[in-house]
Amino acid sequence: METILTVCAVVVTLAFVALVAQAILTLQQVRHTAKAVEYLALNADGKLTALDPIIGAVKTVSGAVSAGWFKVAQTMYGLFARK
């Protein structure tokens, strides 16, 4: 009976050591990924401001669509296109 308990204790200890080793490797990868995301966030700020004119144009178009002018233009086009 003591042999079985000893073997079980050794197996549990080895499994725990493997779990700790995997946890360390995972945390190292998480740290590396966090540093990469931080670098990306710091450098993306300047590049995203270049998209401001495009975003403004998209807002203007979406405002025109939601205002109904686009629907009126579609209706008029539909009336003339059928003839």
What tens digit of pLDDT does each residue of 32-71 get? 999 999 998 888 877 777 777 888 888 887 777 666 766 7
Residue 14: pLDDT over 60: yes
Q: What pLDDT is attached to residue 53? A: 82
**Cα–Cα distance between 38 and 51 in angstroms, integer?**
21
Q: What pLDDT is attached to residue 83? A: 53
Q: What pLDDT is attached to residue 69? A: 67
The residue that leads in pLDDT, 16 or 75, is 16
Tell me the torsion sign for CA atoms 13, 18, 24, 27. negative
